Amino acid sequence: MIQAISHRTVEEIMERHRSGSQLTTSDLLHLLSRSFAYPIMHLETLKGADEYNKRPIIRELYNILRANDEAEDGRYPIPEKIKALDDLHYIFSEVARRDSTENLDDLIDGRLREVTRRMAEGATNEQAKVFIEHFGKGIVLKEVQKFETPIREIFRNCAGHMAAGMKKALEARQLYKMSDLTEYCDYVAGLVGEGLNNIVKETDKISKEILKKENARIMGRALQITNIVKNIREDEIERSDYPDARTLFLPRELFKGITPNELFYSNEKNVKETRKAVFNALYHE
């Protein structure tokens, strides 16, 4: 029999925030996650008899990587985003480097507070702002610090790889080739898939022969491509509202001779055909 798991709704989480209550890291997961929260919850209820309960680990990994996402997505200039990603990477590296008994107050009251203050000012919506503000209180860092060093190092590596891919795309402002998109997806999701494999290996001691690194990376890249396709219109609106804050994730080679604005809004026959070709190229990537 599957054990039932309850959690607060987004509305309940926001009300707790407005009342001045401290949110939990589980609240942060459910505040912004639409695709991953429920699978993460059931890592505990559906685990095998000899399987390690990875729910707390994956929950905090999601929250760490979500902080990177909010740094990349916010409405503030790209140079400031790159600085925010660098600051977060340093913070996550320190949590991995330090002993699990060391005090984190200097990180939380110093660099974390400053970087999340900047991020919150550019938050894309109220829920994102609440996530950033509570993340900035150090609740996720304190939970991550409880994990064994190898797990914390996996967190550092996943977040670092993600930040590297994000920074390259931000600096370019636009992707030019399909290979650029594949590289971006590998950094921000493929290598996260590999990190998840490493968590399984570390906690359940599964052999390398069973968990294939390349399969994990392919799965991660596929999920990221799906996310990009799903959010194409949303990203375009964000670019229109704050053009200096967003990268266009549609490779330019797919719509040569047409501006991004024409690609989204023109009703010309050749543009409609190009729009369909762009979608098909992403679908088959």
Helix (H, G, I), strand (E, B) or coil at 183: helix
**For residue 248, what are the β-bridge partners?**
174
Q: How confident is the model at residue 242 (pLDDT cuts 50, 70, 90)?
A: low
Identity (one letter) of the amino acid at 62?
Y
Query: Per-residue pLDDT tens for 3-38?
Result: 556 688 999 999 999 999 999 999 999 999 988 888
3-state secondary structure 63-83: HHHHHHHHHHHCCCCHHHHHH
Q: Is the pTM of this model over 0.75?
A: yes
Query: Per-residue pLDDT tens for 54-113?
Result: 999 999 999 999 999 999 999 889 999 999 999 999 999 999 999 999 999 999 999 999
Greatest Cα pair distance in the chain: 64
